[in-house]
Amino acid sequence: MDDRVVVGAAVYDRGRLLAARRSAPPELAGGWELPGGKVEPGESPEQALVRELREELGVETETLERIPGEWPLKPGHVLQVWTVRLVSGTPRPLQDHDALRWLQPHEADSVEWLEADRPAVAEAVRRLSALSGGQSV
């Protein structure tokens, strides 16, 4: 059986990356992650990301490109990450999170990322640095 895909969003806005602190489940609470969630049957990963970000953060987004690779989560689940542009709204921690932070590329190590998110975050920050080069993204 295939692993269940969990999608994560490297949300970019004005040269910054959005980090979300988990409030649940207990074993992940307090760790920082790229927001997202499980892909539901009949959904594409991109559709799932837009839906999850609307539910979890109250924002409208546009998926840009997938970050190559996938990372194991709990058994039977893998993480895939896309870069995402904020279209409208101000992110708020509505579900599963108790805090949000916008991080400049040089601030990416200032939060304690969940282990599974670290490789994707590193690549997201690298891409953000290359994109921004002083201009807004």
The alpha carbon of 1 is separated from its chain's Cα centroid by a whole number of angstroms, namely 25
Q: Is the CATH code 1.20.120.530 the one for domain 4-132?
A: no
For 5-46, the pLDDT digits (tens) are 999 999 999 999 999 999 988 988 999 999 999 999 999 999
Cα–Cα dist 109/111, whole Å: 6
Query: Domain locations in the chain?
Result: 4-132
Cα–Cα dist 2/113, whole Å: 26
Residue 80's closest CA among 126, 35, 120?
120
Cα–Cα dist 80/4, whole Å: 10
For 80-120, the pLDDT digits (tens) are 999 999 999 999 999 889 999 999 999 999 999 999 999 99
Residue 113's closest CA among 3, 1, 10?
10
